[in-house]
Chain A
Amino acid sequence: MIVAESKPIKELLEMVKDFKKILVVGCKGCVTVCNVGGAKEAAILASALRISGKKEGLDVTVGEHTLERQCDPEYVNELKDVIEDYDAVISIACGVGPQFLSERYPAKKVFPGVNTKFMGGAVEHGVWAERCAGCGTCAIHLFGGLCPIARCSKSLLNGPCGGSSNGKCEISKEVDCIWDMIVTKMMEQDRLGELIEFRPPKSWTTARDGGPRKMIREELVK
């Protein structure tokens, strides 16, 4: 999933200080799963904004609406009757959501309510960790099912650096050295030899380095 965290409420208050009708838009996708942008969180943020409005004695109307997904036009369209009543919109979806809302409703001022962090998963309840860097050419099978691009601090593809110590990365004792894990896994699977096979340098043309990416599936295009 795409993992995000809430923006500080002070930052959001500053963003919308000039608006009297604010709509908080949640998303039932990834941000619901990581407990930052679903219906519950939309209700919490809306409540906080209302409390702030009352505290300051302002006549602020705050609405809340949660879409199935903010990254699909058909769901974003559902807002067309709701959004008319508001002059500012806070999207608490990942960075895709506020952009889809901005594109679909160009007259509305759209603000991001969360900071999008990474693609990852829940390693325990309330703890998420990065697992994918979206490089566009997945090769985790070459590394025992573990991604050194996303999980090595230097994204090294050719073994651990000198900063690996007792299975930990030099940047923090909290960070596992993924190369220590890769080597251990390959040894356990009796595949260590695969790591010294020659491979040409990875092409990064499919990664973000090649500019904004787009994917077209002809069989799905109308």
Chain B
Amino acid sequence: MKKALPDNIKIIQVPCTGRIETLHLLKPFEEGADGVYVAGCQEDSCQYISGITKAAKRVKQVKGILEGLSIEPERIDVFHMSAGKGQEFVDVADQMVSTVKKLGPILTA
């Protein structure tokens, strides 16, 4: 039987990961998420040439912002996968959930 996505993952679809702006990555944290990840295409198979590369740069920028806020940068990440590999999509979700659970909630109060 195929594994399903963890219940605590909320998917926000975008036409291309290149559409994701820095603010899009910060807002979930502002609204209470303890982790955010971008699941995009392989670097060499982007239909828009550099969508996932741009997203990866923005993820890196947000890692820096989180560090500045004394929040673990591991709470945000980017993963590359192909659309045909559904199992990988689930595995990555499990991986991210596991990472965030180890870190615990952001809120200290």
Query: Bound complex: CA of A10 vs CA of B68, how far in Å?
Result: 5
Q: Measured between alpha carbons, how far is A56 from B27 in the docked complex, in Å? A: 17
What is the minimal beta-carbon distance from A109 to any residue of chain B, in angstroms? 21
Give A56-96 as 1s and 0s: 1 = Cβ < 8 Å from B's Cβ atoms: 11100000000000000000000000000000000000000
Which of A47-55, A149-157, A167-175, A212-220 faces chain B?
Answer: A47-55
Smallest Cβ-Cβ distance to B57: which chain A residue: A126
Set of chain A residues within 8 Å of B109, measured between Cβ atoms: 55-58
**Within 8 Å CB of A44, what residues of B?**
22-23, 26, 65
How many residues does chain B have at the interface if contact means C-beta atoms less than 8 Å apart?
A: 17
**Secondary structure type dominating chain A contacts:** helix
Which residues of B sit under 8 angstroms from A57, Cβ to Cβ? 107-109
Report how far A10 CA is from B71 CA in the complex, Å. 12
B23 x A40 contact (CB < 8 A): yes
CA distance A40 to B23 in the complex (A): 8
Of the listed residues A13, A51, A57, the one surrounded by the most CB atoms of chain B closer than 10 A to its CB is A51
User: Cβ of A24 < 8 Å from any Cβ of B?
Assistant: no
Report the separation of the CA atoms of residues A48 and B69 in the bound assembly, to the nearest whole angstrom.
8
Contact check, A9 vs B26: say whether CB atoms are below 8 A apart: no
A48-B68 contact, Cβ under 8 Å, with A40-B21, A40-B23: yes
The yes or no answer to A43 lying at the interface (CB within 8 A) is: yes
Whether A211 sits at the interface, judged by CB under 8 Å, is no
A47 CA / B71 CA spacing, docked (Å): 14
Closest to A9 in B: B68
Given known contacts A8-B68, A40-B23, A44-B23, is B29 in contact with A51 (CB within 8 Å)? yes
- Which of B30, B70, B106 makes the CB contact (< 8 A) with A50? B30
Report whether B106 and A55 are in contact in the complex, using a CB–CB cutoff of 8 Å. yes
Chain A interface size, under 10 / 10 to 19 / 20 to 34 / 35 or more: 10 to 19
Report B31 CB to chain A, min CB distance, Å: 9
How would residues 67 to 109 of chain B score, 1 for a CB under 8 Å from any chain A CB and 0 otherwise?
0111100000000000000000000000000000000001111
A174 to B106 CA separation, bound complex (whole angstroms) = 41
Q: In the assembly, what is the distance between CA of A122 and CA of B32, in Å?
A: 37
Report the Cα distance A48→B106, complex, angstroms: 13
A52 partner, pick from B22, B27, B69, beta carbons under 8 A = B69
A56-B108, A57-B109 given as contacts; is B71 within 8 A of A43 (CB)? no
Given A43-B23, A52-B69, 16 further pairs, Cβ under 8 A: A10-B68, A44-B23, A44-B26, A47-B23, A47-B27, A47-B29, A47-B30, A51-B29, A51-B69, A51-B106, A54-B106, A55-B70, A55-B106, A55-B108, A56-B109, A58-B109
Which residues of B are at the interface with A, using a C-beta cutoff of 8 A? 21-23, 26-27, 29-30, 32, 65, 68-71, 106-109
A-B pairs, top 8 by smallest CB distance, nearest first, are: A57-B109, A9-B68, A47-B26, A52-B69, A51-B29, A50-B30, A10-B68, A47-B30
